[in-house]
Structure 1
Amino acid sequence: MSTYTDTIRRWAADDRRAGPLADADGTGEVGLGAGEAGTRLAVRFALRLRGDRAETVRYQVFGCGFTIAACAAAAELAEGHTLAEIAVIAPPSVAAALGGLPAERGYCADLAVAALQAAVESAGSSRRPVVGALAADDDHAPRVTAAAPLYRLLTDSPAPPGAPAVDRHLFACLLTVAAGETDDPGAALGLNDAELADLLHLYFPAVTAATLRPFCRPAVDPLPQGNVDLLQLLLGYLPCDADGWQPVPSLWLARTLACRAARPGHLWRSMGLFARAELTAAIHRHLPALAAANSRGMRWKRFLFKQLCEQAGGSLCQTPDCGACSDYPLCFGEEA
């Protein structure tokens, strides 16, 4: 389960080595190349040497709490050691310092180490920033398109009276991306069997769970579990009328957000949506109080986990004033 342990929280809040380093002898970067900045996870490590020893290590990071914690741990492992000693620091060492990482968050240690090793390379050669290698991924293209067979089956099925087309699209995307991951698409969305049946009846009454099965793929790896703390946070934003009635689609979206946020990468892609703007629009429709809380337009996954960490008394950010932060565009950008 991608829930922050106490050890992860402590490392994420440990900002002793966070921030820029002037006149660095070595700088390594991952995710800050042309066209990447502000669009994906990013880390920068900087080293100041005394002889061949890294007297000072600093890092800057744009990522989740696990990535921040991994960078803090990697910096501590490196500081005070020679370049040769730092060169053998590997992701398992960082993960061990964190008390272990969830399987789906192992890439956070990979990211930190890639940037750290790029800084070592920079210090040992030209002192110019070196871009570390990060596994290439198609992290900007939608995972579901209008041509997907299950999406077409769902959206071409008869629409019941009063079912908004935008919500049929939303849940068709979610069901399609989930079916591509497992033979239990409800579980991949944080929904139980009864909730999945109700969702299909409300938006796609001609479709049943049995109809979905031919489109499902057996799960290759265990599905990431939804973050229970995040779900509780989202449930606090559910709208209700004077009688206390809460719209069921809002509950489904809250459960789905908590579940899909456990997956790496952009939240809108994890939900199978065609574009970032569709995620914001769905939250405005079904969780308006949550939309209002994100009044400054922070990217949704970062906003959600920032709220969660602050609720627990920690902070994912190293800058107390967002407006004064040089990385403002990384956190605050258009969703489309």
Structure 2
Amino acid sequence: MDEETGPDVLLTGLLFYDLVLTGLGKPPTPGEEIWTRGMGCGPGGIANLAVAAARYGLATSLATVFGDDFYGAHCREILAAQEGIDLSLSRTAENWNTPVTVSLAHDHDRALVTHGQEPGYTQDELLGDPPSARSALVHIGAEPQEWLAKAAATGTLIFADIGWDPTEQWSGEVLKQLSLCHAFLPNDTEAMGYTRTDSPAAALTGLAELTPLAVITCGRAGALAVDQTTGEHAQVAALDIDAIDATGAGDIFGASFVAATLGGWPLADRLRFACLAAGLSVQHHTGAFAAPGWHGIDRWWRTTGSRDRELARAYGFLADRIPADPGPAPAHAPVTPR
């Protein structure tokens, strides 16, 4: 990372250690034991976005909290040494355990069970006066973070996501934070909930009034977006790919969309690229390790995309955008056979 220009992507959020169980014949019910056919493990949570961005060659800086336990040390080693992510803004919390999530992957979706507590550091304490960055990938919540306004004031493009509202009240107050954001990337359920609409298209219209770039992901139905800065509107289909583990697919989509946006691509190409990366990710275990990076994109293009007439027409833009050296094959999660 160039100390004078800052990172390409700045991230902050909660880190998890993910344990993913796949190959479930059916969802578990109380009182029974189910044996699965596959298992994978690795960093999760905010690590999904960080690894996905770094694997596109973007200088990536992550501000998070590691527990002073095995999981924290293991995740730190992977992110810094293996993935080349800058962790100078991160801290290790004494007497605090890294949150652990068990993901049960079944039928193109997953259920999550997490053990953990909130860390002793807030995002504002981690970032203080944030470094100048080309972009920041953030997860907005009910409580606004002061660092966001500081980052936006220095010209950082803020790409925001949001989580499920367990109360299902979908308070519109949280959307006031979009005034600081360049882009908002919720899924279709979240978008319709917060805009009080009954279709992704209607939700997109509402969100486009609040932020320059509105993107709605629709799972296996693809994605749609409108970019007020360029006047573009696009809707693309997702690839029909058999999923092993959907954990982190939305994060892979988000990081890939940011990478393509920083590259100045047309909106439709950005959406197709992000949908492709998310689709490739569900063929592997755990979100962070599933990120395809340029190597995975290049391999798909050479072995599949360029050999199919329809795919070649839709994804032909990749031929001019995949780097001449897409880098080494990324590490995937240590797994048992599926």
Smaller-chain TM-score range? under 0.3
Relative to the length of structure 2, the TM-score reads 0.26
Higher Cα radius of gyration: 1
Q: Which has the higher strand share?
A: 2
